[in-house]
Amino acid sequence: MKDLIAGFSNQLRHALEIGEAAELQKSHKNIQNVLITGLGGSGIGGTIVSELTAKECLVPITTNKGYDVPNFINENTLVICSSFSGNTEETLEAFEKAKAKNAQIACVSSGGKLLELAKEHQLNYIQLPEAESPRAMMGYSITQLLYFLHHYGLIGTSFKADLSNAAALIDECQTQIQADAEEMTNHFEGKIPVIYACDGFEGMSVRFRQQLNENAKMLAWHNIIPEMNHNELVGWRTKNESLAVVFFRNENDYLRNQKRIDINKEVVSKYTSSVMEFWSKGESMIEKTFYLVNVCDHVSYNLSQRNGVVVEEIDVINHLKGELAKF
């Protein structure tokens, strides 16, 4: 896992090669909306892509993280089914329901049943390399989701240069990234992490929370500014030193949101002394997002080592799947 995190830039470059080599059928239907369906590490990729493309994509993108699909799905909907293993039962059921609605379906997977279905029904698909830790391979799935959106004429090609620049930035800053991750690890060790960021970076925040859950075996929570200023902020009224807060910041955060963060820090600091902020690097949204993802992945790994847990172990999830298999 540690090597995969440190080598994240190589994953992005390989993902670009896979996307460029993909042989996809042309669509002759008018795409009016997009549904990206997937869970876990595959699901959060859809959330991040919807944010990265919000100012460019010509149609609305909805993310789906369950068995069912929305009622609006029809023949003019592009449904992208993303499952790294290809055997995620919720995604497979969503696939069948989307197919019953005559949606245009494309698949992202390393194999499994989903890839079999894509080939059987002659659907567009992009095959990813196999891996033991799918959550460490998010760069692959996000890149292919972007390639699909481009293939169907919904976004341009700028994402390719942005991904390449993100890889170069992560390489250039890797020493600093690991040093910053060590500082953030110290901040969170023995605490309950509280993650705040501005709208546009919720996917990154959820990704960090999920990595803390799975890699470090820790509970954590996140919220987004300005939304949390209309509810959660009121909850900060009891001194609690077990909480450690990070505010993720970006130079392009909306001006009034930047001011909100300053005020929020003042409020939160009254109730816990463990408050820090962390600024992204990069020019584009893609660069900033992947820079933060890499920092946070390092933090989750570091905390797994501090907590004395096996980073790859997911016994409780396997137990859940085993119990479900009985029904």
Classify residue 136: in a domain, yes or no.
Answer: yes
Tokens of 255: 């001006």
Nearby residues of 219 by Cβ (< 8 Å), 6 or more positions away: 192, 212, 213
Kind plus residue range of the DSSP H or E element containing 51: helix 40-52
pLDDT exceeds 80 at position 181: yes
**pLDDT attached to residue 28:** 79
What is the rounded average pLDDT of the residues 129-153?
93
Mean pLDDT of the chain: 96
Report the number of distinct structural domains present in the chain. 2
Angle between helices 158-188 and 138-151 (to 10 degrees): 150
Q: Could you tell me if 125 and 244 lie in one domain?
A: no
Q: Could you tell me if 11 and 96 lie in one domain?
A: yes
Q: Could you tell me if 136 and 31 lie in one domain?
A: yes
What is the rounded average pLDDT of the residues 183-195?
98
**pLDDT attached to residue 153:** 96
| Domain end (from 126, 156, 186) | 156
State pLDDT tens for residues 264-302: 999 999 999 999 999 999 999 999 999 999 999 999 999
Q: Could you tell me if 236 and 120 lie in one domain?
A: no
CB-neighbour burial class of residue 13 (10 A; exposed 0-12, middle 13-18, buried 19+): middle
Q: Could you tell me if 146 and 288 lie in one domain?
A: no
> Percent of the chain at pLDDT above 70?
100
Classify residue 77: in a domain, yes or no.
Answer: yes
pLDDT exceeds 90 at position 164: yes
pLDDT exceeds 80 at position 226: yes
Q: Could you tell me if 189 and 252 lie in one domain?
A: yes
CA-CA distances (angstroms) from residue 210 to 42, 65, 214, 241? 12, 14, 6, 23
Label residue 29 by pLDDT band (50, 70, 90). confident
Classify residue 28: in a domain, yes or no.
Answer: yes
Q: Could you tell me if 246 and 119 lie in one domain?
A: no
Classify residue 326: in a domain, yes or no.
Answer: no
Classify residue 280: in a domain, yes or no.
Answer: yes
Cis bond upstream, residue 193 (ω within 30): no
Q: Could you tell me if 105 and 200 lie in one domain?
A: no
Label residue 54 by pLDDT band (50, 70, 90). very high
| Domain end (from 100, 128, 156) | 156
Classify residue 312: in a domain, yes or no.
Answer: no
State pLDDT tens for residues 77-109: 999 999 999 999 999 999 999 999 999 999 999
Domain that holds residue 220: 161-307
**pLDDT attached to residue 308:** 97
Q: Could you tell me if 16 and 65 lie in one domain?
A: yes
**pLDDT attached to residue 177:** 97
Q: Could you tell me if 40 and 177 lie in one domain?
A: no
Q: Could you tell me if 183 and 297 lie in one domain?
A: yes
pLDDT exceeds 90 at position 1: no
What is the rounded average pLDDT of the residues 5-10?
94
pLDDT exceeds 90 at position 131: no
Q: What is the domain-level CATH number for residue 45?
A: 3.40.50.10490
What is the rounded average pLDDT of the residues 41-60?
96
Classify residue 31: in a domain, yes or no.
Answer: yes
Classify residue 314: in a domain, yes or no.
Answer: no
| Domain end (from 135, 156, 177) | 156
Q: Could you tell me if 252 and 291 lie in one domain?
A: yes
**pLDDT attached to residue 132:** 76
CA-nearest of 25, 49, 27 to 36 is 49
